[in-house]
A and B are shown apart, each in its own frame.
Chain A
Amino acid sequence: MKAGRLLSYLYVLALFAFVFAPIVTSMVFSFNSDRFPTVPLGSFTTHWYETAFSRPEVWTAFGNSAVVALCAGALSTALGFATAYTDFRYGFRFKTAYLALALLPPTIPLVIMGLAMLAWLGRLGLSGTLPGIIIAHTVMGAPFAMAICRLRLQQMDTSLEAAAWNLGASPWRAMRSVVIPFCLPALVSAYCLTAAVSFDEFIVAWFVSGLNKTVPVMILEILQGNVDPQINAIGTVVFLTSMTLVIVAQLLILKKSAK
């Protein structure tokens, strides 16, 4: 019985090792001098970072990614909050269809979204532009933002808003001084998470982006060439960015829901 327990903990650890192996690998080999990474390791170097970040197109890509992630995060969060609030506050006809529309996008394969977006944005003249990528990423991020805001609203006493109305506040005022402050951690959390989703997304961005490449699209194109340790360096920066965003997003929710 005891041995079985130990074995099951080891199994969990092995699974975590599998999940985190690629992340750790990238980080380790980004500081490794060998061109073709293997063990035993070569010597410590920051060469790959220096080469990668001395290229202006890498900086441009990071700039593009930042703009897209910040804008898509903001739009997704706004859209997700409005939808979560609607679900929380109102019942209406076809609400199931409404919610299905809100939650469906993550189930459509990205390659298909990419193709559909390419054709559609082309018609609108937005193909190959950053706003085009922002639009696509907002469609994908909004459901996650909605889920986070909806969970937070679930914790709100429904009479709180009603009390504000009874005290003479307009619905707008109640929203501003009661609902939004209550949801603030969820809003920040949703913002971080959807920014991370956008920052990491590469397939739709690849279809739509044209010459305005984001970081993952650039990685994708380098990958089509040879093994290049610069990717480890760029990848490590990407990992740290998106991991920070996801960790902050989660801590904000956990802290509040523990209360």
Chain B
Amino acid sequence: MRKSAQAYPYVWRLPLLVWQGLFFVGPLILMVAMSFWLVRNYRMQPDFILDNWDRMLGRDYFWNAYWITLWRASLAALLASLIAFPASYTLAFRVSDTVRRWAVFFLIVPFFTSYLVRVYAWQVLLAESGPINAVLGFGGLGPFTMLNSGFGAMVGYMTLVLPLVVILQTFSLASIDRNLIEAAWNLGASPRATLFRVIIPAAKVGLIIGAVFAFILSFGDFVSPFYLGGSKPPTLSILIIDTTKSGQQWPRAAVVAVMMIVTLFVAAFAAVGAAYGKRKS
């Protein structure tokens, strides 16, 4: 009896450590180690060589992929934040609590629903002879080539991240102390000044977190750049898949993966620093 009571806390604490240690930390450590391994005759051998790193980081196509991925993810984070903001503002300040709750409810549903099939649907919608071009055609416009371009990829990224960014922004805006906003009005601040000098600074943390998630998700996404962006130029995730699926070049794919994780960590820490960092008053 005493023994089982002593064991009690550990029964709840240990499963996570064991499971995530075995199936999350373990695989990631192996992947980092693998980036130093040797490939000979299509077989990997544990080793400690910098060959894979030299080969990947010394090639232009890696850096091209790196910059295009970084650029697109940054653009997606910026665009998503800008597109989401007016909607989040409306949901936070101009509707009742009930409406806001249902709006968030209906944004959570697509976030967890079959991203892959949604991207396929965009492929249908944006096609040269697809419904959107057909409608534009009635007005005498187009047809526009929207697939296999940066635009197509961006539509995909927005599909992926917009619901989440709106949710995060709405929560952070709705939790601002209303007295602050009223005080600004009473002190004669214009709507513009209230927005830029009171509301946005007060909701800063939520806005930045929204942008960071948009960045992380777009940076690692493979489906949009591949099926809507036309995979040319390839992004880092496409590079990983190509390198892994064609033959046994897993160590080189691991190099790309490690570079991605490092970039995400740097971006996330910089953003958290910006969110919680210097608060000048």
Q: Which of B206-264 contact A (CB under 8 A)?
A: 216, 219-223, 227, 237, 240-241, 244, 250, 253-254, 257, 260-261, 264
Q: Across the interface, which residues of A come within 8 angstroms of B122, CB to CB?
A: 22
Would you call A19 and B23 a contact (CB within 8 A)? Answer: no
* Distance between Cα atoms of A231 and B227 in the complex (Å): 14
- B residues touching A (Cβ–Cβ < 8 Å)? 1, 4-5, 8-9, 11-13, 15-17, 19-20, 23-28, 30-31, 34, 83-84, 86-87, 89-91, 94, 101, 103, 105-110, 112-125, 127, 129-131, 133-135, 158-159, 162-163, 166, 216, 219-223, 227, 237, 240-241, 244, 250, 253-254, 257, 260-261, 264, 268
Given A11-B87, A101-B25, A105-B24, residue A246 in contact with residue B108 (CB < 8 A): yes
Cα distance A11–B158 in the bound complex, in angstroms:
16
Binary contact track A210-252/B, C-beta < 8 Å → 1, others 0: 0000001001100100010001100100110011001100100
Tell me the complex Cα distance, A243–B109, Å: 6
Q: How far is the CA of A239 from the CA of B112 in the complex (A)?
A: 10
Q: Is A86 touching B12 in the complex (CB atoms < 8 A)?
A: yes
Residues of A within 8 A of B (CB-CB), count: 81
CB within 8 Å: A-B pair count: 236
Q: Name the distance in Å between A133's Cβ and chain B's nearest Cβ.
A: 12
Residues of chain A contacted by B28 (CB below 8 angstroms): 108, 112, 116
Closest residue of chain B to A217 (Cβ to Cβ) is: B116
Interface of B is mostly: helix
Given A102, A138, A171, A197, which contacts B23 in the complex, CB threshold below 8 Å? A138
Residues of A within 8 A of B89 (CB): 8
A83 to B115, CA, bound (A): 28
Task: Give the complex CA separation of A196 and B16 in angstroms.
Answer: 21
Interface pair A109/B220, CB less than 8 Å apart:
yes
CB of A119 within 8 A of CB of B23, answer no
Q: Is A111 in contact with B162, judged by CB distance below 8 angstroms? A: no
Q: Could you tell me the distance between the alpha carbons of A37 and B125 in the complex, rounded to whole angstroms?
A: 8
What 11 additional pairs, Cβ within 8 angstroms, besides A25-B124, A105-B24?
A21-B125, A36-B129, A82-B16, A104-B24, A108-B220, A109-B264, A120-B30, A223-B227, A227-B124, A232-B120, A235-B117
